Chain A
Amino acid sequence: AQSVTQLDSHVSVSEGTPVLLRCNYSSSYSPSLFWYVQHPNKGLQLLLKYTSAATLVKGINGFEAEFKKSETSFHLTKPSAHMSDAAEYFCVGGSQGNLIFGKGTKLSVKP
């Protein structure tokens, strides 16, 4: 069975500093992995996706994630946080047509 674990429920950074949101997965299959962002009272917006084509995946708004099979990780990073990045982030695994959601990480950005 597949599972997705987001290691931090809340991350707080200062504007202009790097962002690191951690995600680990377990899967019996080669997984599809996604990061989504959700702003308050909004739907989910896809940031990036891993589909085995490349281990370093670049997404929108300056975000990127690296798939590390040896560490079973798919951490999301951004070099410099912006106030507009404050939101809830979900790491999601895909397997056999279904999605498995992590519990989410709330990112706060301080001015």
Chain B
Amino acid sequence: GAVVSQHPSRVICKSGTSVKIECRSLDFQATTMFWYRQFPKKSLMLMATSNEGSKATYEQGVEKDKFLINHASLTLSTLTVTSAHPEDSSFYICSARDQTSGLYNEQFFGPGTRLTVL
């Protein structure tokens, strides 16, 4: 089946530093990847939609200069949290859509990255 990996699984950083999270589709090509944020005991909130080779589309209220997204290949998207602050601490989950899948809406989810900003 379609597998999506994320790296790192957890990261602790100091306030003011930047953190990069990688999302990879391991056995399929993903023209579209999605980045979600999940607060404790809450549902997933879509942050942005990333299309390979083009700029990401951010949801309302998400700062594009704060959360930099790059989707340079069909198997890799990265999310960089710039100048991280404690309020950025969260669980970040990526997903990818298989371009060959007949089920247009299905997304495959990564295992998530726990970010803690001190």
Q: Which residues of A are at the interface with B, using a C-beta cutoff of 8 A?
A: 32, 34, 36, 41-46, 49, 51, 90, 94-99, 101-104, 106
Contacts and interface: CB of A to CB of B under 8 A. Distances in A.
Given A41-B112, A43-B111, A103 B103 contact: no
B111 A32 contact: no
Main secondary structure of the interface of A (DSSP, over half): strand
B64 interface: no
Contact of B43 (A46, A94, A98, A104): A104
B112 A43 contact: yes
Contacts of B46: 98-99
Contacts of B58: none
A18 B105 CA distance: 30
Contact of A94 (B105, B108, B109): B105
Given A41-B112, A42-B111, A49 B106 contact: yes
Contacts, number: 53
Contacts of A94: 104-106
Interface residues of B, number: 24
B53 to A, nearest CB: 17
B44 A101 contact: yes
Interface string B1-45: 000001000000000000000000000000010100000011110
A45 to B, nearest CB: 8
A94 B95 CA distance: 14
A67 B34 CA distance: 27
B85 interface: no
B93 interface: yes
B97 interface: yes
A32 B109 contact: no
B97 A97 contact: yes
